[in-house]
Structure 1
Amino acid sequence: MDARDTGTGPGPDTDPKDTDPKIAAAVAAAEAAGPQPGESVRIDSWIWSVRLVKTRSMGATACRGGHVRVNGERVKPAHSVRVGDEVRVRQEGWERVVIVKRLIRKRVGAPVAAQCYVDNSPPPPPREAVAPAGIRDRGTGRPTKRDRRELERLRGMLGGPPEGHGH
């Protein structure tokens, strides 16, 4: 019999908070500060607490703008969230999809916040790998006429040879 069979050793399905006592203590403190059984947590407050938005007012604004859905429904900022709800938050061109595991009211650190939901989000879109055209080294002075033409060609402003110079 090995450690995985007894359930006593650290197996592949071990929750990370069980291995790190600091995170476990922080989760316990966050839950103690959270709602009592039977109480509810506002959606704008919850998405702020688990660090899906930067401020609670940004959470409320996202709700009002229709960027927050709970179980597929657009919700108002005061909507009550429950354990097991699917929360979708659309931000900056991509969508975070999380399942609520714990209800908390106070903002917590990122490792603790990660214990409060299951993240089912698709990967974020790749950042544009385009080098910014027109950035010059410091101290090189103004661009010469040749430099300007190269910059314009890079930007697509000049399609071919300049018009009217066919001597």
Structure 2
Amino acid sequence: MSLRIDKYVWFVRLAKTRTLSTELVQKNRIKLNNNPVKPSKEVKIGDTISIIKNNATFSYKIKDLLDRRVGAKLVSDYLIDITDPLELEKFKTYQEAQSVYREYGTGRPSRKDRDNFDSFFEWLEDDDED
């Protein structure tokens, strides 16, 4: 049995959609045995898949191939997580740094936020002129 890397990544839930998994492979964010590949590259048991997320590289070893997408609880039957603990630490640090920017879930600044920023900076400029 042979399986394309983009399908495999989607089947084992490393990407939310098949289109997203194809895009990740095309952008060299997913590597097979530390080599950039095309979406049609065939995977084999024992291969290593590396996924670059933000600033960290997550690595997985293929235990078995499958013919359809599986539930989250069954993913461990097909993959072994071999990610370096330092990479996990880098990712956690990145997430914490991102949460400091704005409160989680607040989205982009609203028009009101922007007006408040502008009035604050005008106040600072007025203060500097005195």
Q: In 1, distance between residues paired with 2:128 and 2:50?
A: 54
**Would you tell me which structure has more helix in proportion to its own residues?**
2
> In the alignment, which residue of structure 2 is the partner of 1:92?
54
User: Which residue, 4, 14, 17 being the options, matches 1:55?
Assistant: 17
Runs of at least 4 residues off by over 6 Å: none
Aligned with residue 5 of structure 2, among 13, 30, 43: 43
* Amino acid corresponding to residue 120 of structure 1 in structure 2: I
1:102 and 1:117 in contact (8 A); partners too:
yes
Answer with 1 or 2: which has the greater Rg: 1
Q: Which runs of 5+ in 1 are unaligned?
A: 1-38, 134-141
- The aligned amino acid for 2:45 is V
1:111 and 1:83 map into 2 onto residues whose CA distance is 20
- What is the root-mean-square deviation in Å for CA atoms of aligned residues? 2.8
What's 1:80 paired with?
Answer: 42
Larger strand proportion of the pair:
2
Aligned partner of residue 89 in structure 1, secondary structure: strand
What pairs up with 1:56-135 in 2 under 5 angstroms?
Answer: 56-121=18-83, 122-123=87-88, 124-126=91-93, 127=95, 128=97, 129-130=99-100, 132=102
Name the count of aligned residue pairs: 110
Percentage of identical aligned residues: 25
TM-score, length basis structure 1: 0.56
What is aligned with 1:163?
Answer: 128
> Structure 2 unaligned runs (5+)?
104-111
Question: Deviations 1:8-67 (Å, cap 9, x if unpaired)?
Answer: xxxxxxxxxxxxxxxxxxxxxxxxxxxxxxx20110000101111111111111111111
